[in-house]
Amino acid sequence: LQSNSCGPGFAEGNTSSEEQAMIKIVGDSYLPSPSLPDFHGCSPGWSSAFYGAECFDSEVHSYLKNLGKQKSSESQNIDAKKVELEQLLMMETKNYRKTIKFYQKLLQKERRSKGPETKSMLPKLKGQLQEMKSKVQFLELVKKYMQAKQWGVESCVLPTVIHNGKTDPMDMAPMNESSLLLYYNTEKHQCNNQNGVRVLQAGTPLGLMAYLYSRNAFLEGYVQQFLYTFRYFCTQEEFLQFLLDRISSTLSSASLDPSTSLTKICNRSFYILQAWIEDCYSVDFATNTDLLGTLKEFISSKVASLNGYGERLLSLLEDASTRKSGSADQCSSVDKCEGESEEGRKTLHSLCKKLSEDVSRKSYWKLSKGMGPIAQYQRERLHTGSAVLPKPCCSSFTEETSVSFARADEVGPFLLLECSAQQLCWQLTLLQQEVFHKCHPVHFLNSRALGVKDKCVAVPKAVSADPVSLKVCNLFLSKCIQDQYLLQLLKNADSISTWVAAEIVTCHTTKRQVSLLSKFLLISKCCYEQRNFATAMQILAGLENLIVRQLPAWKILPAKVAEIMEELKAVEVFLKSDSLCLMEGDRFKTLPTIPSAHVLAMHVQQLETGGFTMTNGAHKWTKLRNIAKVVSQVHAFQENPYTYAPDFKLQSYLRQRITRFKDADISALAADNCANFHQIPAEKHSRKIQDTLRRMKATFQ
């Protein structure tokens, strides 16, 4: 279940958005509008797009069936089930919250006293926490299932959905479902007992939008898949207008009776609109002020005057805007990050991880004040190499921080050698996580139009504010506005790779180059073992730089360390082999993961190859569904963040070094360093010349 916002206290990264919403309800009761149903957390989440109908297994079905029954075994209505489920969820969430706080206190006590009683209690309490968390998540899933079953209409009513939004009598030509949507039949479905299931195969843009109102649209994962992929066949303005037209035509006549079609269409329209805002605000509304203005104007003039739900929608837009601006400023100031509360930031996952990792909050390293003659020599090296280095400038990843202690230019690469590979891995992972958590699944769509190509073609060096010239490779509609954050993500990856290569070629001795090569190889190994595949592949790209691969230091690299290079190449082949290889099993649900942005973009491009429409003009939904499934893993990985203790000083040092070298010319840097060339001993060299002259004389005699 997806989480896009931070809940209070412990609920930050490892709890679902629904769970966070429930915690908010516990602390601050919220009464829904009497004229519209209770919409809390309408976004189906990544799991709906990834698993589809399999998201809700038989256990969820049976639990909901038995929910709300009296002792006489008489089944109750849906309202009674909702009340009982809300009470159970509130109670379990409250107990879970209390147990978290108790676990935090016990963990702090164990650190101070290290008593045997406390140590014996911690593992038991940890197990109880996992059970309680699983129960809360299961109840959230049941709640989503209950919500998903509401407000849908039968397939035969879908043409009525389309006609309800039309105001022109000349545009009321009769139409049937077959002219809008194409299906294919399958055998018995895993999640229900139907003997035959119709699966959507293709549809017209109007038909695909109308299918959002189908009774099983949420249960099949269609709604979330649609929100990820609709830009291939309609613009944001067209989709918004479609929803607003249905609301306008049904809002005044919709009643509280859930059995009427008008009520179902009206409520489903609000449900989809809220799900769109919750899930895609950053990529659709935040980048399109006209779209946002149209929505706000409609809510203020049409919805707010009839019921209180308009105010809730405006509040939702305001909260989404705040989260967007907050995420843009996240971790931009070291002082701000240091001032955050420890208990407020740490999740259950981090607290449990503390038992095995024993991460210290203290800085892992200290700067020696003078660094002796080494620092003086490094200053000279930096001064002579400054001509080939670009002037540092700030980017989203390499924001300058106000840390007065570090002068990275003077310190040079020596701190990389002082710190352990694990320390550097942790801090590089946190820096990578900072930029990864700002991306959205939609960012990876239509990347060819942004100029993203395979590794053999360089990614654009700079991300400008000017709109990218969209050529024939554009798969979105021409008027569809596309966020270009993927370019920024790939630029950050290039900066890391260039930094790795630059640090190595600027080392003044072969021995130091061997040490730095070994350090980067060990860092990359630690990264991929911790499932930070992004940084691991970035380091590999830096090590595979043509200049770096020709360095003499590789020949004297220890064999065990050199083997890591082959491991990295094997990992790269594994990542490229299957678009869903990181989603296999259940490890991604419990272990944090950062995928390689470039590899993921190439997988999506592969799925985008070929036509999107059939011969009759209908858009292939099977193709769009597969694309949605692949990009949904972005939200899945963002749910489970890394919880390493940040070392802000080390992060500041790394940021400054990356900024310094991010646009460097590696060949120019290497040419200024004699350690980058194979040296021939003077005696051996003169002997070779004499032997050559002797052979030349013999040819003329």
Q: Is the pLDDT of residue 495 over 60?
A: yes
Each residue's pLDDT tens digit, 548-569 = 999 999 999 999 999 999 999 9
Length of the chain: 701
- Cα separation, 323 vs 330, in Å, equals 10
Please report the DSSP string for 299-346 in residue order: IIIIITTT-THHHHHHHHHHHHHHHHHHHHSTTS-HHHHHTS-HHHH-
Return the sign of the alpha-carbon dihedral for residues 511, 512, 515, 516: negative
3-state DSSP call for residue 594? strand
The whole-number pLDDT of residue 110 equals 74
Helical packing angle, 510-529 and 485-505, nearest 10°: 150
Q: Which has the minimum average pLDDT: 113-127, 164-178, 327-341, 491-505? A: 327-341
d(CA 376, CA 153): 76
Tell me, what's the pLDDT at 635? 96
With cut-offs at 50, 70 and 90, classify the pLDDT of residue 174: low
* The predicted structure's pLDDT at residue 192: 45
Kindly tell me if the per-residue pLDDT of 365 is higher than 50.
no
The Cβ of residue 403 has, within 10 Å, a number of other Cβ atoms equal to: 16
Burial tier of 261 (Cβ tally within 10 Å: 0-12, 13-18, 19+): middle
C-alpha 500/C-alpha 413 separation (Å) is: 10
- Residues 252-297 have pLDDT tens digits of 776 666 678 888 888 889 989 999 999 999 999 998 999 999 999 9
Q: Strand ranges (DSSP E) for 484-577?
A: none
- Any idea which residue has 């679902």 for tokens? 16
> How far, CA to CA in Å, does 70 sit from each of 66, 67, 77, 80, 92?
9, 9, 11, 10, 21
Instruction: Tell me: pLDDT of 508 over 80.
Output: yes
- Rounded mean pLDDT of the chain? 77
- Let me know: does 367 contact 405? Beta carbons within 8 Å: yes
pLDDT in tens, 611-665: 999 999 999 999 999 999 999 999 999 999 998 999 999 999 999 999 999 999 9
Q: What letter represents residue 538's amino acid? A: Q
Most confident of 187-201, 337-351, 464-478, 525-539: 525-539
Q: Collapse the DSSP code of 149 into the 3-class scheme (helix H, G, I; strand E, B; otherwise coil) and give the result.
A: coil
Least confident of 27-31, 57-61, 90-94, 452-456: 27-31
Cα 1 to Cα 47: distance, rounded to the nearest angstrom: 6
Q: What is the predicted pLDDT for the residue at 680? A: 53
Question: What is the model's pLDDT at position 177?
Answer: 75
Evaluate if residue 35 carries a pLDDT over 60.
Answer: no
pLDDT at 487 over 80: yes
On the question of pLDDT at 570 being above 90, the answer is yes
Mean pLDDT along residues 679-701: 68
Inform me whether the pLDDT recorded for 61 exceeds 70: yes
Lowest mean per-residue pLDDT among 220-234, 329-343, 496-510: 329-343
- The segment with the largest mean pLDDT, out of 98-107, 113-122, 341-350, 609-618, is 609-618
Buried b (16+ CB within 10 A) or exposed e, 346-361: bbbbbbbbbeeeeeee
Token readout for 575 is 């990542």
Say how far apart CA 22 and CA 38 lie, in whole Å: 13
Contact 64, 142 (CB under 8 A): yes
Q: Looking at 110-124, 197-211, 428-442, 564-578, which range is the least confident one?
A: 110-124
CA–CA dist 355, 374 (Å, integer): 39
Does position 467 have pLDDT exceeding 60, yes or no?
Answer: no
* Per-residue pLDDT, 81: 81
**131 Cα distance to chain centroid:** 26
pLDDT at residue 447 greater than cutoff 60:
yes
164-187 core/surface letters (b: 16 or more CB in 10 A; e: else): bbeeeeeeeeeeebeebbbbeeee
> What span, in angstroms and rounded, lies between the C-alpha atoms of 195 and 303?
42
Q: Residue 444: which residues within 8 A CB-CB, separation 6 or more?
A: 486, 597, 600, 601, 604, 631, 634
CB 533 within 8 A of CB 574: no
pTM (global) more than 0.85: no
The pLDDT assigned to 451 comes to 92
Q: pLDDT value at position 486?
A: 96
| pLDDT score for 543 | 96
**Quick one: pLDDT at residue 109?**
77
Amino acid letter at 266? C
- 203-252: per-residue pLDDT in tens? 999 999 999 999 888 888 999 999 999 999 999 999 999 999 999 888 87
CA distances, 407 to each of 148, 284, 333, 470, 519 (Å): 56, 41, 18, 42, 22
Average pLDDT over residues 403-413: 53
Any idea which residue has 């082999």 for tokens? 577
Distance CA 514, CA 417 (A): 11
Mean pLDDT in residue range 286-314 = 86
User: pLDDT-based confidence at 396, cuts 50/70/90?
Assistant: very low
Contact 60, 145 (CB under 8 A): yes
pLDDT band at 178 (very low <50, low <70, confident <90, very high): confident
For residue 443, what pLDDT is reported? Answer: 97
